[in-house]
Chain A
Amino acid sequence: MEILIDIKDTITVEEALAFIQAPECGGEVIFAGTVRNHTKQRPVLKLFYECYEAMAISEMQKIAAQVAGKWDVQRLAMLHAVGDKYPGDLAVVIAVASAHRGVAFDACEFAIDTLKETVPIWKKEFFADGEIV
Chain B
Amino acid sequence: MGILLFGAAKDIAGVPVLDKPEHITDVATLKAWLYEVYPSLQQLRSVMIAVNRTYAADTQEISSQDEIAVIPPVSGG
Interface residues in chain A, defined as those with a beta carbon under 8 Å from any beta carbon in chain B: 33, 49-52, 54-56, 58, 80, 91-92, 112, 115-124
Instruction: Report the minimum CB–CB distance from A10 to chain B (whole Å).
Output: 16
Is residue B53 contacting chain A, with contact meaning CB distance below 8 A? yes
CB pair B76–A52 under 8 Å, yes or no, is: no
Chain B residues numbered 36-61 whose CB sits less than 8 Å from any CB in chain A: 50, 53-55
Total interface residues in chain B, CB < 8 Å:
15
B9-68 interface (Cβ within 8 A of A): 50, 53-55
Q: Is the CB of A80 within 8 A of B76?
A: yes
Chain B residue nearest to A60 in the complex (CB):
B76
Inter-subunit contact A122/B75 (CB<8 Å): yes
Complex partner residue of A122 from B7, B50, B53, CB under 8 angstroms = B7
In the assembled complex, which residues on chain A have CB atoms less than 8 Å from the CB atom of B50? Answer: 52, 55, 120
